[in-house]
Amino acid sequence: MEVVSAQVQRVALVIQYLGTHFHGWQWQPHHRTVQEEIENALQSVLQYPVRIHGAGRTDTGVHAAAQVAHFDAPAHIPAHRWASILNARLPDDVLIRASAAVSDSWHARFSAVWRRYRYTLYTDPRPNLFVRPYTWHYYYEPIDESLIQAALEPLLGRHHLAAFHRAGSSRVHSWVDVQVAECRRQDSFLWIEVQAGGFLYGMMRLLVGMLVEVGRGVRSPKNFTEIWKSQLRDQVKYAAPPQGLCLLRVGYPDFPFAPEVWYDTQPLFSFFQPSSPLIAATPHG
């Protein structure tokens, strides 16, 4: 049972985590989750259980560049100190970028007006160990990003996206307000970003899996649109692997953090391509 002092304040956190070794954000029995790690760190400080509330759930293996959560804590600990207090107790794959006081009515989930996800594909046929944990290495066939962008544009607006809704969700409907949907490329890296008021369970990975088929020319942008408009869930067969997906950021009308803390904190991969090999000079003996 959670215990709180009579003098409490609500604290908001901006959180980064590498999802590789987590079974998602939300607490699960017998599985390691991000929520559990942070709650354990809070309990080690306060000596009683504290529940944190996140802006959204992420699946097993999915990363977050700026997840947002809140909890209630004794007011005698300054809110801005919680970031360093928790970081001293958290494992290496979770980081609190900042903490701040918010009003008692502010809620990490219900006060949010949008979430934004980024999916990263690496298309060079040569494997690269340093990008493997954060990308889908897809090099089997060329991908045309202009076809993907053409398929994304009709998604803008409010739509019933049951075709991209995995089974097992407690959500009673599949309506989604899509605010941004874009694809871009730099060298061997291709990024797909979608911003929406909320996301369906498994939506981004199912969406990317089918968009790759569009980029390969297996299906047309028109066919892609017909499938989701007709809610043909049985035509959406493949989910993109989790490691390419990152919860990029969450938007609020009243957010206590500066943009550099949360706005775009997942670095974009790119390679420097010299015109000729760089050869280090060897000193003569």
* Known binding-site residue numbers for substrate: 117
- The CA-atom distances, in angstroms, between 238 and each of 202, 222, 223, 279 are 11, 19, 16, 45
Instruction: Centre a 10 Å sphere on the Cβ of residue 46 and count the other Cβ atoms it contains.
Output: 17
- How far is it, in rounded angstroms, from Cα 273 to Cα 285? 32
Annotated binding site: 117
Length of the chain: 285
Is 187 annotated in the active site? Answer: no
Six-digit token pair at 72? 């209630």
Choosing from 59, 93, 234, 254, the catalytic residue is 59
Q: In one letter, which amino acid is 70?
A: H
DSSP assigned state of 25: S
Q: What are the b/e assignments for 99-136, b being 16+ CB within 10 Å?
A: bbbbeeebbbbebbebbbbbbbbbbeeeeeeebeebbb
Residues tagged active-site: 59
